[in-house]
């Protein structure tokens, strides 16, 4: 098992980004959470197989249809801007 975190920037709030992330994570067999942050970004933390985490990271660059992702930054450790479990 591996753990990764990401901060996603762009038009990522109000476009079902967290719900889409949850759907992708479950499909990939991952557990974790996605949180809307006060600065307009979304933070995602996931645990699972490395190949599944790589697949989720590729999806984060696209997001759901209404999203416009401008950056996906890997985060160290378990840094999160707030609570909000999405999978588990």
Q: Kindly list the catalytic residues.
A: 18, 36
Residue 66's SS3 state is coil
| Alpha-carbon span 17 to 33, nearest angstrom | 12
**Among candidates 72, 83, 87, which has minimal Cα distance to 27?**
87
Are the beta carbons of 11 and 27 closer than 8 angstroms? no
């Amino acid at each position: 098992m591996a753990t990764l975190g990401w901060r996603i920037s762009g038009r990522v709030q109000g476009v079902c980004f967290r719900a889409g992330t949850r759907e992708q994570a479950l499909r990939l067999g991952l557990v974790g959470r996605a949180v809307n942050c006060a600065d307009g970004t979304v933070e995602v933390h996931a645990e699972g197989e490395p190949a599944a985490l790589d697949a989720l990271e590729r999806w984060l660059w696209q997001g759901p249809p209404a999203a416009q992702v401008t950056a996906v930054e890997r985060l160290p450790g378990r840094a999160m801007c707030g609570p909000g479990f999405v999978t588990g």
